[in-house]
Amino acid sequence: MSEFTQTATVTQQQTVVQPYIRYDPEYVRTIPGIVKIVCIVLNLIGFICIEFSYFSYRPQGSFFNTVAMLGFWFSGIMLVFYLFHVCEKFHKIPWLKIELYFCAGWAALYMIAASVAASTSIEAFQAAAFFGYCAMIGYGVDAFLKFKSVRAGEIAQGSRTVHVQQQQQTVSTLTA
């Protein structure tokens, strides 16, 4: 008589969301909300530094301002989406992955834009470069937070619970 054990793993996933748009100011008190606001402010300050310079028309300034304004608008729109729970209403869209890729890309673009601005001898560009490097760190932190959330299987808003259950069954067989 021989015996063997068979193991089956059952995974159940439950997503709980409230599918209506509502204003919730609590997001700005969370770490991702604070990081998003800091990035928005740094984008705007860097943009203003370049724009108030007499040399804002130079390619280095134009590139920096393009990076700053695209980051400002994307982060601003995402902040509004989180404040009004748009991400929760459309929870099937992979918001965290979208933000992860954007933030990682923007950290790299800010490294390039700030380095190009810092290499000039224009003081306003060098000031913008400082804020660009700070924004690079902010987007890097945000990308790291999104990476951890994606890896944990979370969704942008709402909650997702995963239950893993293992069942073992012993089977005996008779051999003649």
pLDDT tens digits, residue range 22-32?
898 999 999 99
* pLDDT grade for 76, boundaries at 50, 70 and 90: very high
pLDDT of residue 150: 93
Distance, CA of 83 to CA of 86 (rounded, Å):
8
Is residue 31 within 8 Å of residue 145, measured between CB atoms? yes
Mean pLDDT value of segment 145-151: 94
Distance, CA of 95 to CA of 69 (rounded, Å):
21
- The larger pLDDT score, comparing residue 166 to residue 83, is at 83
pLDDT tens digits, residue range 80-121?
999 998 988 888 899 999 999 999 999 999 999 999 999 998
Write down the domain spans for the chain: 21-164
Could you tell me the pTM of the whole model? 0.81
Is residue 125 within 8 Å of residue 50, measured between CB atoms? yes
